[in-house]
Amino acid sequence: MLLAVAVTQAQTQFDLNLGACAELDAADAALNRAYQDILARYRGETLFLAKLKTAQRAWIAFRDAELEAIYPAAEKHIEYGSIYPMCRCTVLADLTTQRTEQLRTWLEAEEGDPCSGSRRP
């Protein structure tokens, strides 16, 4: 995990924040690759793609609401201090990684799974 390496090499909170946010950037890039791969594989399946886009927008709203629930203060930097950017990026990276795993099920479906729905091998 990149964050673990960044944490061990970090000298300041700023460095820790940068490392955590770099991990978020990597997680976001992986999510976008998975999403684009799904769009390419299922091209032409307009109903599924419309529903997937709706689900992805709902996930983004969930992600943002989940972060707000974890860190509800209006003045986050005052309430949570200089560690907040690191914590924010860590939470978002974890949620993004979980979503990427969910999306990948459309790319890694098992042949013969009776409950696969729109997922195809």
Looking at the whole model, is its pTM more than 0.85?
yes
pLDDT surpasses 50 at 1: no
Domain 14-104 fold: Substrate Binding Domain Of Dnak; Chain:A; Domain 2 (1.20.1270)
- 3-class SS of residue 116: coil
Q: pLDDT tens digits for 89-101?
A: 999 999 999 999 9
**Closest of 3, 26, 24 to residue 15, by C-alpha:** 3
CA angle 77, 80, 85 (to 5 degrees): 60
Residue spans of the domains in the chain: they are 14-104
Q: Please give the average per-residue pLDDT across 3-9, as a whole number.
A: 56
